[in-house]
A and B are shown apart, each in its own frame.
Chain A
Amino acid sequence: MAYVAIADRDQHLHDPDTFITKYIWSQDHKVIAIQYALTAIFVGVVALVLSLLFRLQLGFPDTFNLVDPNQYYQYVTMHGMIMVIYLLTALFLGGFGNYLIPLMCGARDMVFPYMNMLSFWVYLLSVIVLLASFFVPGGPTGAGWTLYPPQAISEGTPGIGGGIVLMLVSLAIFIVAFTMGGLNYVTTVLQARTRGMTLMRMPLAVWGIFVATILGLLAFPALLVAAVMMTLDRVVGTSFFMPEMLSLGRELDYGGGSPILFQHLFWFFGHPEVYIVALPAFGIVSDVLSVHARKNIFGYRMMVWAIVLIGALSFVVWAHHMYVSGMNPYFGFFFATTTLIIAVPTALKVYNWILTLWRGDIHLRVPMLFAIGFIFTFIHGGLTGLFLGNVTVDLPLSDTYFVVGHFHMVMGVSPVLVVFAAIYHWFPKITGRMFNEALGKAHFWLTLLGTYSIYLPMHYLGILGVPRRYYAYGDTDFIPASAQTLNSGITVAALIVAAVQVLFFVNVIWSLWRGPKADPNPWRATTLEWLTPDTPPKHGNWGPELPEVHRWPYDYSVPGEAEDFIPQTEPPHAGVVAGRDHGVHH
């Protein structure tokens, strides 16, 4: 088998010489990653503030008059859409994907840096278009983040003027941006790994990002198609999704369309989207756990296959979001079955994380705390997913706070905890400085306990039957007065958690400015990104020679070794119980 030394072949890199080409119109994957991350975090903070505004309304309906009912819906909608797509998708794939893929695979950059740069600028455009909807007459759309027609474009829903159109256009632009980036990530992983870096020696973080990007490339088309068709319904007057209907006593010009078609398209995107966010989180958390437990990840091969299997299954579970939509009941049976099957590889991952910790040499540093916190929140979110995946249990819980609690646990809090774990974990490499450990720990504990006090009560409210998406509940027979007390408590917890995030920003900014210089490999990790000649890595990443990989990324605490970790670049040597090398079948 002739070795094709692709990574050694000259990859043409542009040579940045001015400030502008270095930091603004940069084609360096690391700079693009930071641009992506900062934009995503900025827009995420906007969404966080929106959530506080509507939480104040919900918690204290008669005290604050910050939002009216229309604004309430608009803020809820924008909060959801921003968090899922413009924060989490962009941060995991555009941010961590960009930063980690070339460094962990041993490449000098993405395969097409220019297109990578375009990806960020188009993403920025989509964010600007999205935020512009706050300033058009009628404001942003208030259709709920799922944008279900016919209500999304019918009178009575706030933002049916410019708001909904800008939202749909922004989504289409985002998809273009994602596609340009995503093609780069997939091609880089497949084609530009360094010598010795077989697919089965890739860190799980890269595996997670890789499979999630494939999911994105196949799932975002559904959102694009849905957005195009709804834009045409709204602007041109077609009836793709609009049935014949009376609205406010008036017969509309629409007729013959299928609202359920939109739901199918939306969730054919929407469910893989859950895993577009979750798989990078799974991968990153696996690496963080292994490094800080000084132990190899338990069942690496199975972890990889679980990621691939979850990714494949995520395309055949979408209608479990639609049990109450009026689709054929036999569909419910099929989709409940596939949904429960997906729990098998997911549970396998959770067991393997726990078994990685088992008898490990656990260092409870800040990234590790967040990673372990993730295991807790993810198990809780996953267990409530079993409730909602079953048709009969889902029916009474549908559209209640149980659902809100579930998806915030599983794809809100859990990925965000991993985002923090990842930022703290790679902060020394990205910035060359150490963060403050004590501030980080305070940030962790307050965030973890705070989010639990927000979302656990929501499950109880949901079982009571409190519906979501209501501006105020008033006096209702089936909702006891105590539910309102709980709602107030949730709001207070949300305010505290939001305030606590200041600790994070203070820590990052202070450490950037005054933090102690970081060791190039402060966690004594094995993967390539820690072995760069410079910290932070310079343009081109590796200096004159590309690294050569000789082993898998999890050689921690190998018996008979002086050090408790063996970098991936370390050649095999005598006298060692060979690290479990997954590149070789004997």
Chain B
Amino acid sequence: MSSELTESAGAAALPQGFRGFARDWTADKQTFHVPWGKAMMWIFLLSDTFIFTLFLTSYMNVRMSTRVPWPNPSEVFALSFGGDPIPLILIAIMTFILITSSGTMALAVNYGYRRDRARTAALMFVTAAFGATFVGMQAFEWMKLIVDEGVRPWGNPMGAAQFGSTFFMITGFHGFHVSCGVIYLAVIALKVLRGDYEASGNYEVVEIAGLYWHFVDLVWVFIFAFFYLW
């Protein structure tokens, strides 16, 4: 029996290599050495990855299927500050903000494990604020496209109707994720501040929220690459 075998024979008798890996993975213990919530978050993110992947694949598909030329993203997403338009400037700032927020989140996780409640909560609030700024700038971008440039989900003056459809759907779905993340982070930060996790001393929950946040950032990199740079 496995437990007795390991107790009596010790580590030397354990199978090595792939067999050892398989045996370890299927043993009578947690498959992953992580808390339940963290395992579940990873599995959820895997499922969510499929959603974003399929959205992006569908976008590529309709971009190929439409016979009308695709608008040039460098021009559509350009902003001018008094002078010549600068391509993709807004989106570059948004991307910078979101990626910076991943940094503050990582710091929050670090301070969480040191049980530095004030710094953890402060950094989480900063992360959430960056996220909220991102969503705000996204709203500005949407406003500009809708009001100034006449882009609608069902058509636009620059070219293929699918440009607006996929843009609003995919960035909207991502913006929804960011908004959920802002609320999620704020709630956890409040609970950290209130000392809800002091009893157990366990701040894994900060890391789990961080996983979600990094995922949302990572997805944005793909949306950015496929939508704005292509």
Contacts and interface: CB of A to CB of B under 8 A. Distances in A.
Interface of A: 1, 3-4, 6, 111-112, 179, 182-184, 186-187, 190-201, 217-218, 220-222, 224-225, 228-229, 232, 236-240, 243, 253, 255-258, 261, 264-265, 268, 549-551, 571-572, 581, 583-585
B155 to A, nearest CB: 8
Given A179-B44, A199-B31, A228 B169 contact: yes
B50 interface: yes
Contacts of A549: 28
B27 A572 contact: no
A572 B47 contact: no
Contact of A239 (B6, B15, B26, B165): B165
A572 B1 contact: yes
10 closest cross-chain pairs (CB), A and B: A256-B66, A199-B26, A238-B165, A221-B50, A258-B65, A237-B154, A221-B51, A190-B31, A583-B2, A217-B47
A240 B36 contact: no
B169 A232 contact: yes
B62 A240 contact: yes
Contacts of A186: 40, 43
B193 interface: no
Given A217-B46, A225-B51, A240-B58, A4 B30 contact: yes
A220 B47 CA distance: 9
13 contacts: A1-B24, A3-B3, A4-B29, A4-B30, A111-B36, A192-B36, A193-B29, A196-B1, A218-B46, A221-B47, A225-B51, A239-B66, A256-B65
B229 interface: no
Given A224-B51, A256-B68, A584-B5, A217 B154 contact: no
A112 B28 CA distance: 20
Select the residue from A3, A225, A261, A268 with max chain B CB neighbours within 10 A.
A225
B36 A112 contact: yes
A417 B118 CA distance: 59
A197 B28 contact: yes
A196 B27 CA distance: 8
Nearest to B29: A4
Interface string B62-103: 100111100000000000000000000000000000000000
A187 B46 contact: no
Given A239-B165, A253-B154, A261 B31 contact: no
B61 A222 contact: no
B25 interface: yes
Nearest to A198: B28
A232 B40 contact: no
Given A257-B62, A258-B62, A196 B28 contact: yes
A158 to B, nearest CB: 25
Given A217-B46, A550-B1, 10 more contacts: A3-B3, A111-B36, A112-B36, A195-B28, A198-B28, A221-B48, A239-B162, A257-B66, A261-B65, A571-B1
A172 to B, nearest CB: 11
Nearest to A217: B47
A1 B65 contact: no
B55 interface: yes
B153 interface: yes
Select the residue from B11, B65, B162 with max chain A CB neighbours within 10 A.
B65
Contacts of A257: 62, 65-66, 162
A199 B62 contact: no
A198 B30 contact: no
A256 B162 contact: yes
Contact of B58 (A111, A193, A220, A225): A225
B211 to A, nearest CB: 14
B61 A261 contact: yes
Contacts of B6: 1
Chain B interface residue count: which class? 35 or more
B54 A225 contact: yes
Contact of B55 (A190, A200, A225): A225
Q: How would you classify the secondary structure of chain B's contact residues: helix, strand, loop or mixed?
A: helix
A191 B36 contact: yes
Contacts of A225: 51, 54-55, 58
B165 A232 contact: yes
Contacts of A229: 58, 169
A551 B47 CA distance: 34
Contacts of A191: 30-32, 36, 39
Contacts of A184: 40
Select the residue from A184, A229, A551 with max chain B CB neighbours within 10 A.
A229
Contacts of A196: 1-3, 28
B47 A261 contact: no
A236 B5 contact: no
Nearest to B169: A232
A187 B36 contact: yes
A108 to B, nearest CB: 13
A3 B33 CA distance: 11
A187 B44 CA distance: 10
A200 B26 contact: yes
A433 B5 CA distance: 41
B39 A236 contact: no
Interface string B168-185: 010001000000000000
Select the residue from B1, B51, B153 with max chain A CB neighbours within 10 A.
B1
Contacts of B19: 585
A584 B4 CA distance: 10
A177 to B, nearest CB: 13
B72 to A, nearest CB: 17
Nearest to A244: B67
Nearest to A186: B43
Given A1-B6, A256-B62, A585-B15, A222 B43 contact: no
B65 A190 contact: no
B50 A265 contact: no
Contacts of A190: 30-32, 39
B11 A198 contact: no
A253 to B, nearest CB: 7
Contacts of B14: 1
B23 interface: yes
B51 A583 contact: no
Contacts of A200: 26
Contacts of B62: 239-240, 256-258, 261
